[in-house]
Each structure stands twice: as C-alpha cells, then as structure tokens.
Amino acid sequence: MQSLRINFRTVTGVLGLLFFASIFLPSCSQDERSIDYPDVSGVITDSIEFYRYDRIVASMNSEMVQMDYMKNLTSIPNFTDLYFKRLLAIPAENQDSFYNRIGQFLQAEEIRRLQDTIDQIYPDLNSVEEDLREAFKYLKYYFPGYSIPHVYFMQTEFAYQTILFSDLYKDGIGIGLDLFLGDAFDYKLLDPQNPAFSDYLTRSYNSDHIVRKSLAMILDDLMGNSNGRRFIDLAIHEGKKLYCLRRMLPMCHDTVVLEFSMDQLEWLRTNELEIWSYFLEEDMIYETNHLKIDKFVNPSPHSPGMPPEAPGRTGSYIGLQIVEKFMSENPEMDIPALLEEADSQKIMEMAKYKPRRR
C-alpha cells in the first residue's frame, strides 16, 4: 500500500460539546436529516400479530412437554416447528428423545436465568411494538404489495438476533431478545474470544436497535445481493439500504439508523472529503479483492489505512452519500426504482458526487 497522504481531521475540539449534547439526545429521536417524510397515517397494514414466544416457551411444563408442544404446534404451527427443530436444533427423528431434550432445555438453570434477565429488561414490549407498527407503515407505503410479517420475540441462548422465515402466506420475523439486552448484560462473559461479542457489535445489542435491525433484514431480503463484487458495487448497495432505512425510521436517530456513535458520525462528516480522496488515491473504487474491501463495507472495529478514530464501514457511509446525491439529482425516482437500478457505475456518474469541504 502506498504511504497515506490524506490529511484526516480530528474532532477533539468538539468532543466536549458532543458529550454534553449526547446527555440530552435520546438514541431514538429526530435528528438533522432534512427529509420530507410522507404522511403514512392513512396507510393500512395487514393485521400484525406480536408473540412473546420466549414466555410461551418458559410457561411450558417440563412434566407435560408433549402436550404443551402439541398445543403450541396447533396454535402457532410454523414458528413452533422452526423454533425447536431448527433454531434450537433439537433432533426430531425419535419422538421420545425429542420431547426429552425439550424438557432438558426447559429445566436448564442457565436458560431459566436468561429468561429472568429478559423479563427484567423487557417486562413489556409496548414501545417496541409501537415503533415496529410505525416503521411497517413506511415499508408498506413504499412497497404496497409487501405483506407485513407477524413478529415473534424469542430467546435462543444467544444463537440468533433476527430471522426472516416463511410463515404460511407471508414472512415472519423472529427477534432474539437475548441479543438485545443492552448495557445491563456483559456479553463478553459468555465468550471473550467470540467476535460476535466484540464491543463494536454489542454497542447495538439494545432495545433502540430492534426496529432498525428488523427493517434492515427485510430490506436485505427485498434487495437481494449486490450485482457486482467491486468496492463501488458493495458500497452503493449498502448505501441504498441506509438511504431506505433513513426514510422508514423517522423515529430513530442517525446513530441508530446508520449504526455509528455520535463521535464516529462527527468524524465521518468532518472527514468525508478525505475518506473519498483516500479511496481514490488507493485505487479502491474498482477493487474486487474482498480482503481489501470487507472492513470498509461490513461491520468492523476500524477502517484500514485510516486514523484510529475511523470506524469500520466508511465505504458504506460514502455509498450513502453517493445515493443521497443521486436521488437529489433524480427527484422523479422513488425507492423501488432506486433498488431496481443495478448499475452502480451509472449511479455514481449520475450522482455527480463531490464531498463538501469543511
């Protein structure tokens, strides 16, 4: 790699102000986005059912496993089958062994303690359900043909945070509350070596991010994979998703929607020109080596070659700026049309993207 000649700027001069502002700034609230949100008050979503499946499981009688299992299978067939056989991965070839394993799961002390923790942090999910309903209205506004999924809150002993599955005639969402416990739970105690419990990831394992991660999963499904493997293809693909999330989650602050801290966002905004210049100078735009690309577009603690303050996913942030500029240059284009436009080269050229000097 060539020696770095880009002069990134520090933001230490405003850190005190940022800290003061963060005390009073809720993690989910309107911020500086100047977006003209559509009126969704009249949008009618499909009937949405919310299930506290973690409590349904916890209420099962370990002495009457077969009866309780069949009762749940009758009332909630798809998710019950999925939960025990695939998410908990309990072998079902032998019925006696299957029910015995479920009983062991219900009686396990660590599972009971985990459920107690979940119940303490989430005595109810009223605010989460309200925000999900609101976010689904925006989703339905932009994608009228999409059938809003039922939502199943669960615990899978830290195996799954969110899942999307076929639930009869439409999708269903599973949300693992055990991976949204927030600061009250030290995930590193589970396994300090597990990268899934790294600080840069667990900072978003809280209630503020439940709606964001649920919508992101649906968008991933609607968008599919990027059509290209170049850096610019992946950056703009991620930029499209962030652009959509911004317009479907007006109740959430950019620190939640973009999943950067306040300090990281300030650094990104201050150094946008330098970040773009770095990618140009290092010939990254058309790079296809995933080892060189990955940390710029996927969650990571840092962006290689940049100062220590630079978070991972700087490429995704630039992708968002390109998409924002592209859409401002093409006001007649709506979100479905944006997602259908597969030519990232065309988007980059039509955007006429030039980072502002600060």
Percent of the chain with pLDDT over 90: 87
Residue 13 lies in a domain: no
**d(Cα 284, Cα 232) in Å, to the nearest integer?**
8
Q: Which residues pair with 173 in a beta bridge?
A: 151, 164
Residue 20 lies in a domain: no
Q: Which residues pair with 167 in a beta bridge?
A: 170
Max Cα distance, the chain (Å): 69
Query: Based on the domain organization, do 194 and 326 belong to the same domain?
Result: no
Query: Based on the domain organization, do 153 and 208 belong to the same domain?
Result: yes
Query: Based on the domain organization, do 149 and 205 belong to the same domain?
Result: yes
The answer to whether residue 7 scores a pLDDT higher than 80 is no
Sign of the alpha-carbon dihedral angle for 29, 34, 40, 46:
negative
Query: Based on the domain organization, do 113 and 165 belong to the same domain?
Result: yes
Model pTM greater than 0.75? yes
Q: Where are the beta strands (DSSP E) in the chain?
A: 50-52, 150-154, 162-167, 170-176
The answer to whether residue 13 scores a pLDDT higher than 50 is no
User: Phi-psi category of 224—alpha, beta or left, where left has phi over 0 and alpha has psi -120 to 50?
Assistant: left
For the stretch 326-336, pLDDT in tens is 999 999 999 99
For the stretch 281-328, pLDDT in tens is 999 999 999 999 999 999 999 999 999 999 999 999 999 999 999 999
Domain region containing 164: 50-221
Residue 93 lies in a domain: yes
Residue 203 lies in a domain: yes
Query: Based on the domain organization, do 217 and 234 belong to the same domain?
Result: no
For the stretch 14-57, pLDDT in tens is 333 333 233 333 444 445 568 999 999 999 887 899 999 999 99
